[in-house]
Amino acid sequence: MTTYSSVTCREIQDTKREGARIDGLTASVTLGCAFTDRFALMYDLLFGNAGYGRAWPYGGALFCTGVEAADGPPGQAQTAPLNTQGYEVEQSYVVATYSTPSMNPNQPDVGNVTENLEPTCEFQTLPHTDFIWDGAGQIVLKPEEAPAKQNRGVNYVRTLSKIEPPLPIELITLQGCVNNGSIVSTSLGLTFPAETLMYRGVSLSRTMQPGADPDAADLAWNMTLKFGVKYSEWNKFWRGPLEGWQGFKIKATGAAYKNYPPEDFSVFF
Residue 13 has pLDDT above 50, yes or no: yes
pLDDT at position 61: 78
| Full-model pTM | 0.59
- Whether 189 and 140 have beta carbons less than 8 Å apart is answered as no
Q: DSSP secondary structure string, 142-161?
A: PGGG--EEEEEEEEEEEEEE
- Residue 21: predicted pLDDT: 84
Is 154:229 a contact under the CB 8 Å cutoff?
yes
Q: Is the pLDDT of residue 25 over 80?
A: yes
Average pLDDT over residues 212-225: 76
CA angle, residues 145, 148, 151, in degrees to nearest 5: 175
Q: State residue 64's pLDDT score.
A: 87
Confidence of residue 22 (pLDDT cuts 50, 70, 90): confident
State how far the Cα of 216 lies from the Cα of 196, in Å rounded to an integer: 36
Using alpha carbons only, give the angle 40, 46, 47 rounded to the nearest 5 degrees. 85
pLDDT attached to residue 19: 94
Residues in the chain: 269
Average pLDDT, integer, range 169-174: 96
Mean pLDDT in residue range 207-217: 68
Q: Which one is predicted more confidently, 48 or 63?
A: 63
**Domain ranges for the chain:** 9-99, 111-268
Percentages of the chain per state (helix, strand, coil), in multiples of 5: 10, 40, 50
- Predicted confidence at residue 262, as pLDDT, reads 97
Q: What are phi and psi of 108, to 5 degrees?
A: -70, -15
Q: Mean pLDDT, to the nearest integer, of 210-216?
A: 67
The pLDDT assigned to 157 comes to 97
Kindly tell me if the per-residue pLDDT of 184 is higher than 90. yes
Model pLDDT for residues 50-80, shown as the tens digit of each residue = 444 578 888 877 888 889 987 765 455 444 4
> Does the pLDDT value for residue 243 go beyond 90?
no
CA distances 241 to 126, 128, 140, 167, Å, are 10, 14, 18, 44
Residue 235 has pLDDT above 80, yes or no: yes
Query: Which amino acid is it at 51?
Result: G
Output the pLDDT for position 199: 98
Residues 89-146 have pLDDT tens digits of 557 899 999 988 654 444 444 458 899 999 999 898 999 999 999 987 889 999 999 9
Note the pLDDT of residue 51.
Answer: 42
Cβ proximity of 159 and 188 under 8 Å: no
Cα–Cα distance, 260 to 269 (Å, whole number): 20
Q: 119 vs 7, which has greater pLDDT?
A: 119
Using alpha carbons only, give the angle 258, 261, 263 rounded to the nearest 5 degrees: 145
